[in-house]
Amino acid sequence: MRYILRSIKICFMISILLFSLFASFAIINPKSNIVSAIDPLVQYDSIVALEFADSSALNTPIHPLGGVRNVDIKVTYISTVPDIFKTPPGKYILFGFFKFVFLAPVHLKIENIPDWCTASIAPPDIIFDAFGEGSELERKVTLQVAVNKQSTALFPFTLQVRATGDSPDKHIKAPPEVSLPIAITPGYVPLISTDPGATIKKTSPGEPVNWDIKISNNGNGEALVRARIINIPEGWVVSVNPQTIVPSLADGELNEKVMSLTALPPLNIGYYNENVMLEIELTPEFSSPGAGASANLTKGESIYLTLAIQLRGFSMPGFEFLFLISGVLIFIIIKKHKMSKKK
């Protein structure tokens, strides 16, 4: 009985070995009849999928002066090879005895990158085990994005992350190209500078002082500059444009505008010999606050401009006509006096 069982085992093992050798020869040998029957039929698909592992980094605009923003992307590889051909003896039948590793390289690249953006992906190449399981078929890559001041503030733009793959074997097709759109929004840079020309001017009572203050927009979006006079000297009347819209170079326009300020000194009776100071607060903000960002993302820090006025001279309001009459009378008297001397 023991001899019979041993003979059956030996015959079974020899049968498997012969079958495997024959199948392997049939697949490897291009002249065999079996290869012509198998090759056109046995070719399985593979798929690469891209999706966000974490898209929270894209929920807020990317500030041009805020460094690099990291976005995690999950890459998944799937093949449709049936499980029966992933392990012996089916593996030997389809792929032969001399194929041990089934590597499926996937290549990633970024497309549609504007001049004002830098973007990279790490790692750019991934190698999957085509017959791996579970987490072996998933990898995480990181997209790094930064924008500069030449970007257009709060204007969304879409990058494309594209994935291509290679075939790990002639019986497994290369995966088709896939892409993942990445919508990025540059943040707003509220940078302005001012040039009032002269910061000190002289005047006399009743004579207004005028400034044409040039405002330059060095940010990446049209700026609405709000002006507020912090301190007005007693008796003075000061007026300024409450708001001025200044284009940006990012919009392809001249990034300068002029804001006018007028200061009228007091007209009280007396002699004036004083210096007064005017302080103006200028606050830039994005000129289209309805663009989808909150107020703290569209408003910049205020800058302060100090102007000085030297007031010198007499002020006699209401007496001008009296002085005029007095001057005429004095002139008449002097003239009559000269005429009487000639006689």
- Answer whether residue 12 is part of any domain: no
Lowest mean pLDDT among 109-118, 310-319, 320-329: 320-329
196 and 153 in a common domain: no
Q: Which domain holds residue 53?
A: 20-184
What SS3 state is found at 150? coil
* Final residue before a domain boundary, out of 158, 184, 210: 184
* Final residue before a domain boundary, out of 184, 217, 233: 184
- Answer whether residue 337 is part of any domain: no
Average pLDDT (216-235) is 91
Please give the model's pTM, rounded to 2 decimal places: 0.67
How high is the mean pLDDT of the chain? 81
167 and 26 in a common domain: yes
136 and 42 in a common domain: yes
Lowest mean pLDDT among 185-189, 211-215, 237-241, 269-273: 269-273
Question: What is the percentage of the chain residues whose pLDDT exceeds 70?
Answer: 75
- Answer whether residue 243 is part of any domain: yes
Runs of H (alpha helix) within the chain: 2-28, 33-38, 90-95, 295-298, 320-342
- Answer whether residue 135 is part of any domain: yes
Q: What is the CATH number of the domain that holds 180?
A: 2.60.40.10
- Answer whether residue 331 is part of any domain: no
The residues, ordered by sequence, that sit 6+ positions from 9 with a Cβ below 8 Å of its Cβ are none
What is the pLDDT confidence band of residue 329, given thresholds at 50, 70 and 90?
Answer: low
What dihedral angle (degrees, nearest 10) is formed by the CA atoms of 320, 321, 325, 327? 20
Q: What pLDDT was estimated at residue 342?
A: 57
134 and 67 in a common domain: yes
Give the residue from 220, 217, 215, 209 showing the smallest Cα distance to 308. Answer: 209
130 and 102 in contact (C-beta within 8 Å)? yes
- Answer whether residue 249 is part of any domain: yes
Evaluate if residue 339 carries a pLDDT over 90.
no
Q: What pLDDT was estimated at residue 291?
A: 44
216 and 73 in a common domain: no
Query: 25, exposed or middle or buried, with CB in 10 Å at 0-12, 13-18, 19+?
Result: middle
- Answer whether residue 134 is part of any domain: yes
What is the pLDDT confidence band of residue 22, given thresholds at 50, 70 and 90?
Answer: very low
Other Cβ atoms within 10 Å of 153 Cβ, number: 29
- Answer whether residue 161 is part of any domain: yes
Evaluate if residue 153 carries a pLDDT over 70.
yes
Count of the separate structural domains present in the chain: 2
* Final residue before a domain boundary, out of 167, 184, 201: 184
Evaluate if residue 163 carries a pLDDT over 60.
yes
pLDDT in tens, 254-310: 899 999 999 999 877 667 788 999 999 999 998 764 444 444 557 888 999 999 999
- The residue among 71 and 96 whose pLDDT is bigger is 71
Strands 303-315 and 200-203: parallel
Question: What is the spatial distance between Cα 336 and Cα 195, in angstroms, rounded to a whole number?
Answer: 58
Average pLDDT (218-237) is 90
198 and 291 in a common domain: yes
